[in-house]
C-alpha cells in the first residue's frame, strides 16, 4: 500500500487557489479541489503512471480543468 505525503505548504497552496477560484466563479473552487484529489487518488492507485522525465518533473499528469487559462488571465 502506497502513501502520498503532501507538504503543508502544498496543501495551503491548493486551499488558497480553491478559495480564489471559488470567488471568481461559484463551484469552480470545489471542482479544482476535486480535480486535485482525483489526481492524488490516481497517483496512489498507480504511482508509476507518471514517470519522471527529468528531476522533479513528471510526464502525463493532466488536469481536467483549464488551469492554464485560469492562472494566466
- What is the domain count for the chain? 1
Three-class DSSP labels, 23-72: HHCCCHHHHHHHHHHHHHHHHHHCCCCCCEEECCEECCCCCCCCHHHHHC
- What is the pLDDT, as a whole number, of residue 72? 31
Grid cell at residue 54: 527529468
Which residue matches cell numbers 500500500? 1
Residue 8: helix, strand or coil by DSSP?
helix
Query: Does residue 3 lie within any of the structural domains?
Result: no
Query: Does residue 14 lie within any of the structural domains?
Result: yes
Give, for all 73 residues of the chain, the pLDDT tens digit: 788 888 899 899 999 999 999 999 999 999 999 989 988 888 889 888 777 777 766 666 555 545 554 443 3
Query: Does residue 2 lie within any of the structural domains?
Result: no
Range of the domain at 57: 8-71
Containing H/E element for 57? strand 57-58
Query: Does residue 51 lie within any of the structural domains?
Result: yes
Query: Does residue 27 lie within any of the structural domains?
Result: yes
Amino acid at each position: 500500500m502506497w502513501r502520498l505525503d503532501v507538504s503543508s505548504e502544498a496543501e495551503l497552496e491548493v486551499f488558497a487557489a480553491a478559495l480564489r477560484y471559488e470567488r471568481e466563479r461559484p463551484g469552480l473552487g470545489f471542482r479544482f479541489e476535486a480535480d486535485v484529489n482525483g489526481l492524488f487518488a490516481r497517483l496512489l492507485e498507480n504511482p508509476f503512471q507518471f514517470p519522471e522525465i527529468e528531476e522533479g518533473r513528471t510526464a502525463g499528469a493532466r488536469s481536467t480543468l483549464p488551469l492554464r487559462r485560469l492562472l494566466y488571465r
